[in-house]
Each structure stands twice: as structure tokens, then as C-alpha cells.
Amino acid sequence: MTSSDRDHRESSVRRTKIVATLGPASSSREMIRTLALAGANVFRLNFSHGSHDDHAERHATIRDIEAELDRPIAILADMQGPKLRVGTFANGRITLQKGEHFRLDLDRTPGDNARVCLPHPEILAAAQPGSSLLLDDGKLRLKVLSKSDSHLDTEVMVGGPLSDRKGVNVPDVVLPIPALTAKDRKDLAFALSLGVEYIALSFVQRPEDVQEARDLVDGAAWIMTKLEKPKAMDALTEIVALSDAVMVARGDLGVELPPEEVPLAQKRAIREARRQGKPVVVATQMLESMITSPSPTRAEVSDVSNAVFDGADAVMLSAESAAGDYPKEAVEIMARVVRRVENDPEWRARFDVLRPEHDGSTAGAVAEAGWLLAQAVSASAIVAYSATGQGARRIARERPTCPVLALTPDDDVARRLCLLWGVRAQSVGQEIPIFGVEGLVDQAVELARREDFAQTGDKIVLMAGLPFGERGSTNTLRVIEVS
């Protein structure tokens, strides 16, 4: 393969992955297949909506299409998390004026212009005079003046209409509530019974929330923590360390943070995730206008581009693909934007400057050496044998110029790796540990040829761990000339 052929091949490869949410607009077999062909690498099942039967049917359809297309597809089960809401009003709706006093209490009697039920005693317990309460996705803001065991007296700082069961956010206190509700625990058990690859945790506040989920999941899936609470950002390093992946969920994060702080929080989260070698997804309103329009706004295109420039592993579509009029077009345009950015010289130069330092571990040092070796010999691809996915995750952290082909003996691991930046995963069964390194070399060459990443005379870099199958044992590099 000549250098011009290699440049052309690499320009057609998309490193940043796409997560597409399934819903009423995208649940048919035909549409799911269409989205997979258009560029979706991961499908999100949103457990805030739909029944278990709905999610089971979508899961089965994805697996059927996966077999048809002969490539792994990951499935993300997104837990609803604790939803905090006010009660109802006698007339269904009121209007709060700035400067008025308004009471939130535990009385379930329908509310009026003076009060409403807040059926969450944990909020009453945690809030203090001066605390802020945000209602209806932050459209209204109240300040707590005083409190008792049964009520909060507040002043309206930002008024507006308020109707039945609108959401409540408390941005400046840690609420003594678990990230997994009783509903979440049932949904979690069901999702694990299906065999999903990722479990997304909503409204995490503390590292302990992630640990609780890890204990429940017990390795059956990778944990993706959604960063949507300011208190989670305060414990970002610890939360990322306990997670297998993170999502910058800008919808709820933007409710509780001032809008000008959200882009900075996004960049900080991406940097920390990259530093720790954990895949990071940027989500919410990326192509929001495409819910009803066949083309995005220029600002939305810039938003997706910036996430790619910042080094996100994946970008996500929510309502655009779940309930919008143009799910196929949304995935196609997102893939086009990603490819265009990744073909820009400034994108590559930025990645080389912003590469995080290695973590001092042997496996991290081997991954960095693999990246340098691939650069030095102009490798067409890096092939990583990874029994658990950790070796592939480490080399993806380096953001190598050439593609990364991950070989794994486990179908579930191959699917998990679909989220990782620049990684093309393939399950190769259990034969390699039996036949040793030479069997691995043969598999690596075969896969590189089949994916059109290498031809006769090209070099590929092989990464593996000896002995096979031991977690964290990536310790071997080998340059192979394709013959």
C-alpha cells in the first residue's frame, strides 16, 4: 500500500463513535438497520420511557442485525435515576411572580398560588436557608428563606408558569438519596438479563453512588456514569476512577450550572476521562433542530465539531434519533461532521499536543511505546489482543494515527469496545490462547487484510499480554510485516 493509498484509507475511517437513542421513530428493524449502516456504533435504550417488552424487542432486533452485518454493536441501558417533582395544583397550573413567597410542603393536597406539595422529605432535610431550588428544567428559581421538618418557605427569584409534576433540581446541596431507585434496580436487573454492554447511571452525586452500582452489576456490564450534577463535577477524579466510561449529560447539567459554565465542565470532563483512559461521550442537544428539520443549524455543527476536537470518544443523539422526523439523516450528518473534522490537519496536531502523560503503570508504558513504535515504522494498523478490553482501552487513550484493531475471545468484550475511540473490535473465539503468539499473528494479519487496513509489504504493530488471559498483562510488542 503506497503512502497515498494509506492516507486515502485513513481519511475514510471515522474514529469518533456515534451513539443513537432508540424510540418511537426508530424501533422498526428496517430503521435500526438503517441507523447501523449510517454510522451508529452504539444503541441507547432509555429506561425513562417504554416497557421492558419494548426494550427486549429492540435488544433482540439489534442482535439480529449485528449477526447480519457481521460486526459487533454495543447496547447502552440508561437508567432513569431519581426524578424529583412537585405535586399537583387545584387548577393544574399557576404563575409565580418574582419577589413572592411560596411554600413547598409535605401536604399532598393540590396546591395553589401560595403553596404546593414537595413529596421529597430528603430535600426538606438537606436544603438550608440560602439554598436554590430550580423548577421545570431551571425555568423558575426559588431561594429558601426558612425551613422546618414539614416545609420550606421560599422567595421567587425567577418567576413564570408552573404546572403539575414539574421537575425540581437542587444544585448546591448533596441530597441523601441513592442514584438507583427501586425502579432502577428492577430495570437494571432486567437490562443485565438481556445482556447489555453498558449501564448508564443518572443523577450521580458521589463516588459512593458509582460503587453501589458496581457492586450490583458485578462485572456483567461496564458502568457509564452520567455527569449531570454539579456535585458530581466536584468529585470528578474519584467518579471517573470508579467508572468504566462517562457521559457529559449537558441537559440536566445545564439546568443546575449557569449556561456559561457548561462548555468548561464538558472540556474538563473530557480531559479527566482521557487522562484516566476512560471513554467519554458528549450528549444532549447536539443536533436538536433535526427533530423537526432535515438539516442542522450551523451552531449545532460547530458543537459536534468541538466535541471531536476536544477528544470525545463518542457523540450522542437523543430525541433526534428516538422521536425525531429524520433519524437517518441525523446519524448521517453527524458521521459526516466527524469525518470532516478528523481529516483536518489542525485536529491531528491538537491531539498530539494534548496527549496525556502515561500513568506510570507497565501496561500504560507499553501502550505509549506501541503508539511510538507505530509512528516510527509507519504502521498501517495497531492490532491489540485484549481478553478484558483493558489493553484496547489503553491504546485508544493514546489516540494513534493508524487504526486500532482489537482481537478478543469474548463477544461481550468486543461489543464494549465499540464505544472506544478509533477501535475496530472483532471476537475471535478461544483459539488464540491455545495456539499461542503465532496463532495471534495469523489472526492479526487476517483481520488487517479483511478490514483493508494492510496489504502485502505493510507493517502492523501487535500488542498482547503474556501469559494470555491475565488482566492487565499487556507487556508484549511485535512488528509484523504483512506477506
Q: 190-235: per-residue pLDDT in tens?
A: 999 999 999 999 999 999 999 999 999 999 999 999 999 999 999 9
Q: 113 with 150, same domain?
A: yes
> How many structural domains does the chain have?
3
pLDDT bracket for residue 123 (50, 70, 90): very high
User: Residue 352: what pLDDT?
Assistant: 77
- % of the chain with per-residue pLDDT over 70: 94
Considering the domain boundaries, does residue 7 fall inside one?
Answer: no
Q: 332 with 306, same domain?
A: yes
Per the residue annotation, which of 115, 226, 229, 399 is the catalytic one? 226
Q: 72 with 105, same domain?
A: no
User: Is residue 441 within 8 Å of residue 476, measured between CB atoms?
Assistant: no
Q: How far apart are CA 169 and CA 131, in angstroms?
A: 11
Task: Pick 192 or 177 by higher pLDDT.
Answer: 192
Q: 266 with 336, same domain?
A: yes
Lowest mean pLDDT, pick from 88-97, 188-197, 228-237, 447-456: 447-456
Q: How many CA atoms lie within 13 Å of 368's alpha carbon, on the beta-carbon side?
A: 14
Q: How far apart are CA 152 and CA 161, in angstroms?
A: 20
Q: For the chain, give the mean pLDDT.
A: 92
Q: 297 with 420, same domain?
A: no
pLDDT bracket for residue 450 (50, 70, 90): confident
- The amino acid at residue 384 is A
CATH code for the domain in which residue 393 is found = 3.40.1380.20
108 has a pLDDT exceeding 60: yes
User: Residue 439: what pLDDT?
Assistant: 72
Handedness of CA 217, 220, 221, 223 (dihedral sign): positive
Q: What phi and psi, each to the nearest 5 degrees, are found at residue 179?
A: -70, -20
Considering the domain boundaries, does residue 220 fall inside one?
Answer: yes
Q: How far apart are CA 14 and CA 442, in angstroms?
A: 26
Per the residue annotation, which of 6, 9, 17, 44 is the catalytic one? 44
- % of the chain with per-residue pLDDT over 90: 76
Exposed/middle/buried for residue 173 (C-beta within 10 Å: 0-12, 13-18, 19+): middle
* pLDDT (tens digit per residue) in 325-350: 999 999 999 999 999 999 999 998 88
Q: 183 with 160, same domain?
A: no
Mean per-residue pLDDT for 162-184? 92
Q: 306 with 222, same domain?
A: yes
User: Is residue 477 within 8 Å of residue 440, measured between CB atoms?
Assistant: no
Q: 324 with 418, same domain?
A: no
Q: What is the pTM of this model?
A: 0.92
CATH code for the domain in which residue 44 is found = 3.20.20.60
Mean per-residue pLDDT for 119-135? 95
Q: 332 with 407, same domain?
A: no
User: Residue 8: what pLDDT?
Assistant: 44
Upstream peptide bond of 263 is cis (omega within 30 degrees of 0)? no
Of 113, 137, 169, which residue sits at a domain end? 169
Whether 44 is catalytic is yes
Considering the domain boundaries, does residue 403 fall inside one?
Answer: yes
Considering the domain boundaries, does residue 265 fall inside one?
Answer: yes
Task: Pick 351 or 221 by higher pLDDT.
Answer: 221
Per the residue annotation, which of 284, 388, 408, 474 is the catalytic one? 284
User: Residue 26: what pLDDT?
Assistant: 97
Considering the domain boundaries, does residue 29 fall inside one?
Answer: yes
User: Residue 234: what pLDDT?
Assistant: 95
Task: Pick 1 or 13 by higher pLDDT.
Answer: 13
Per the residue annotation, which of 85, 268, 271, 339 is the catalytic one? 85
Of 342, 375, 391, which residue sits at a domain end? 342
Q: 161 with 196, same domain?
A: no
User: Residue 336: what pLDDT?
Assistant: 97
410 has a pLDDT exceeding 70: yes
Q: 418 with 453, same domain?
A: yes
Q: 336 with 372, same domain?
A: no
Whether 284 is catalytic is yes
- Residue 151's domain comprises 93-169
Of 310, 342, 374, which residue sits at a domain end? 342
pLDDT bracket for residue 434 (50, 70, 90): very low
Whether 408 is catalytic is no
Considering the domain boundaries, does residue 414 fall inside one?
Answer: yes
CATH code for the domain in which residue 127 is found = 2.40.33.10
